[in-house]
Chain A
Amino acid sequence: MLEPMSLWKPDPTFYPTPRDAAAAPAEKLAYVAAFDRSASRPDAIAVLDTDPDSPAYGTVVGWTDLPFVGDELHHFGWNACSSALCPNAPHPHVERRYLIVPGLRSSRIYVLDTKDVVSPQVVKVIEGEELAKRAGYSRPHTVHCGPEGLYVSALGGANGEDGPGGIALLDHTTFEVLGQWEHDRGSQYLAYDFWWHINHDVLVTSEWGTPSMVEDGVVGELLLGRKYGHRLHFWDLRKRRHVQEVDLGDQYQMPLELRPAHDPTKTYGFVGVVTSVEDLSASIWVWHKDGKQWAVRKVVDIPAEPAPAEKLPPILQPFGAVPPLVTDIDLSVDDSTLYVSCWGTGELKRFDVTDPFNPVETGSLRIGGIVGRAEHPAAPGVPLAGGPQMVEVSRDGRRVYVSNSLYGSWDDQFYPDGVGAWLAKIDSDPAGGTFSFDERFFPNGDDFRGLRPHQTRLQGGDASSDSYCFP
Chain B
Amino acid sequence: MTLTAVLLLGAFHGLNPAMGWLFAVARGLQERSRDRLLQSLPVIAAGHLGSVALVALVVGATGSLITGRALPIVAGVVLVGFGLWRLLSSRHFRWVGMNLSLPQLAAWSFLMSSAHGAGLMLLPVFTAAHTGHAGHAMSGGLGVAALHTLAMFVVAGVIAVIVYEVAGVTILRRAWFNLDRMWAVALVAAGVFTLVQT
B57 to chain A, nearest CB (A): 27
Other-chain contact of B96, A85, A93, A237 (Cβ < 8 Å): A237
Q: A6-B90, A6-B178, A17-B169 are in contact. Are A89 and B30 (CB under 8 A)?
A: no
* B181 touching A90, Cβ below 8 Å: no
Taken together as a complex, chains A and B put the C-alpha atoms of A86 and B178 apart, in Å, by: 15
Bound together, the chains give a CA A17 to CA B174 distance in angstroms of 14
The listed residue (B30, B91, B97, B172) touching A88 by CB distance below 8 A is B97
8 A Cβ contacts from A48-103 to B: 85-94
Scoring B residues 8 to 35 as 1 if CB is less than 8 Å from chain A, else 0, what string do you get?
0000000001101011011001111000
Please tell me if the beta carbons of B30 and A199 are within 8 angstroms of each other in the complex: yes
* Contact (Cβ within 8 A) B96 A90: no
- Alpha-carbon gap, A312 to B9, bound state (A): 74
**From residue A195, how far is it (CB to closest CB) to chain B in Å?**
15
A292 near B: Cβ within 8 Å?
Answer: no
Knowing A6-B181, A9-B176, A265-B30, say if A88 contacts B98 (CB, 8 Å).
Answer: yes
A10 and B173 contact, Cβ closer than 8 Å, known pairs A93-B178, A238-B96: yes
Q: A88-B23, A93-B178, A173-B91 are in contact. Are A12 and B97 (CB under 8 A)?
A: no
When the two chains form the complex, which single residue of A4, A89, A199 contacts B93, counting CB atoms closer than 8 Å? A89
Q: How far is the CB of B112 from chain A (nearest CB, A)?
A: 8
Q: Give the distance in Å from the alpha carbon of A88 to the alpha carbon of B24 in the complex.
A: 10
Q: With A89-B92, A91-B92 in contact, is A201–B18 under 8 Å at CB? A: no
> Inter-chain contact count A-B, CB under 8 Å?
99
Q: Among residues 1 to 24 in chain A, which have CB atoms less than 8 Å away from a CB atom of chain B?
A: 4-10, 12, 14-17, 20
Please give the distance in Å from B117's CB to the nearest CB on chain A. 16
In the complex, whether B99 has a CB less than 8 A from a CB of chain A is: yes
Residues of A near B94 (CB, < 8 A) are 89, 147-148
For window 72-120 of B, CB contacts with A under 8 Å fall at 90-100, 108
Q: How many residues of A contact B (CB 8 A)?
A: 38
Interface size grouping (class) on chain B: 20 to 34
Q: Does A469 contact B172, Cβ atoms closer than 8 Å?
A: no
CB of A200 closer than 8 Å to a CB of B: yes
Whether A469 lies near B96 (C-beta < 8 A) is: no
The residues of A that contact B25 with a CB separation of less than 8 Å are: 87, 470
Contact status A14-B173, CB under 8 Å: yes
**Contacts A6-B181, A173-B90, A471-B29 given: A198-B169 contact, CB under 8 Å?**
no
Contact B173 A200 (CB under 8 A): no
Give complex CA distance A16, B26 in Å. Answer: 10
Known pairs A86-B98, A238-B97; A15 contacts B173 (CB<8 A): yes
Distance in angstroms from B30 CB to nearest chain A CB is 6
Q: A77 CA to B172 CA in the complex, in Å?
A: 24
A264 within 8 A of partner (CB): yes
Would A199 and B99 be within 8 Å (CB), given that A89-B94, A91-B92, A93-B178 are in contact?
A: yes
Residues of A within 8 A of B (CB): 4-10, 12, 14-17, 20, 85-94, 147-148, 172-173, 198-201, 237-238, 264-265, 469-471
A-B contact pairs, 17 of them (CB 8 A): A7-B178, A15-B173, A85-B172, A87-B20, A87-B25, A87-B98, A88-B98, A88-B100, A90-B22, A90-B92, A94-B90, A148-B96, A200-B98, A237-B97, A238-B96, A265-B32, A469-B26
B interface list, Cβ under 8 A from A = 17-18, 20, 22-23, 25-26, 29-32, 90-100, 108, 169-170, 172-174, 176-178, 180-181
Given contacts A6-B178, A12-B173, A199-B30, list 14 more A-B pairs with CB under 8 A: A4-B90, A9-B176, A10-B176, A17-B169, A87-B22, A91-B93, A148-B96, A200-B99, A201-B96, A201-B99, A470-B26, A470-B169, A471-B29, A471-B30
Q: 7 nearest interchain CB pairs? A: A87-B22, A87-B23, A91-B92, A16-B169, A238-B97, A147-B96, A93-B178
